[in-house]
Structure formats: C-alpha cells, structure tokens
Amino acid sequence: MSVELLRYPTYLWATLLLALMAWLMVIFILHFFVPKAMLKTYFKEPHFSPAEIEFFTGFPFAYIRTVMFMRLAGWPESGEKRGLTEAYKLAPSWFRVISRILIRFLFVGSALLGILGIFLFAGFYYFENFSS
C-alpha cells in the first residue's frame, strides 16, 4: 500500500476547499445585497436576543447574519422557533433562489470536505507512522 492511494482524494479535497473559498468570496459580496427591509423589520427583538443583535452587527460577524437571512429567505420554515417564517416575503425572488443554491452548496460541500478531511487526516497519519 503506498501513499499514492491518497492522491486523488487529496485532489478532490483541495478542489472542494478552493470551491468553498470562492463561496466565501460570493458571500462577502452578497452581504451588501441582503434586503434592507428584511433586516429592518426582523433583525430585532423578539426574534433575536439583545446579545445576538449586538454580536451580529458590524464587522466581522455581520457576515454570519447574512448567512442566517439567506437561510430564512430560502427556507421560511427554518425561522419557526424565532417567529421569522414571514421574513422571506421581504426578499426579492432572485435573492431567495440564490440563497437556496448557495446554502445547499455550503451544507453539501462542507459535509464532503469534513468527511474527506477526516479520512485524509487519518490516512496521512497512517502512512507517516505505520508504513515504509
């Protein structure tokens, strides 16, 4: 068994990582297109605690807030516990569509990256310590 076995999984992992880094860049841009009406109407009590409002305002954690509102726009039912199921109505349909695509990509891509990452972590460890 040689470490060559890990070559193609590694290439896949690296490609996934680059794709997700590009995803981060897209979020950075999309942050400025989150509908202001959504934020004004729903980014306050009682939907968010004072702690959360303070935390997710301003650089850099406002980008996490962007992802939160993207999920709300794409899947209204995700806002059930916070009473945010109507929030999607304030988002234009292009924003809702893009949000669904991007959030799906985040979940699937991260899961794959995570699984592959653990596999490669173990694989490299094995070849470093137990194989000539």
CA distances from 110 to 34, 69, 100 (A): 23, 19, 15
C-beta closer to another protein: residue 3 or 37: 3
C-beta closer to another protein: residue 13 or 37: 13
Structural contact between residues 16 and 116, judged by C-beta atoms closer than 8 angstroms: yes
Burial label for 72, CB within 10 Å (0-12, 13-18, 19+), is: buried
Question: Smallest gap, in angstroms, from Cβ of residue 47 to another protein?
Answer: 9
CA distance linking residue 125 with residue 34, whole number of Å: 43
Residue among 21, 2, 23, 6 nearest 116 (CA): 6
C-beta closer to another protein: residue 33 or 121: 121
Structural contact between residues 82 and 36, judged by C-beta atoms closer than 8 angstroms: no
C-beta closer to another protein: residue 39 or 67: 67
Which residues of this chain interact with another protein, rule CB under 8 A?
A: 3, 6-7, 10-11, 13-14, 17, 20-21, 23-24, 27, 49-55, 58-61, 63-72, 78-82, 84, 103, 106-107, 110, 113-114, 117-118, 120-121, 124, 128
Question: Smallest gap, in angstroms, from Cβ of residue 126 to another protein?
Answer: 11
Question: Smallest gap, in angstroms, from Cβ of residue 51 to another protein?
Answer: 3
Question: Smallest gap, in angstroms, from Cβ of residue 94 to another protein?
Answer: 20
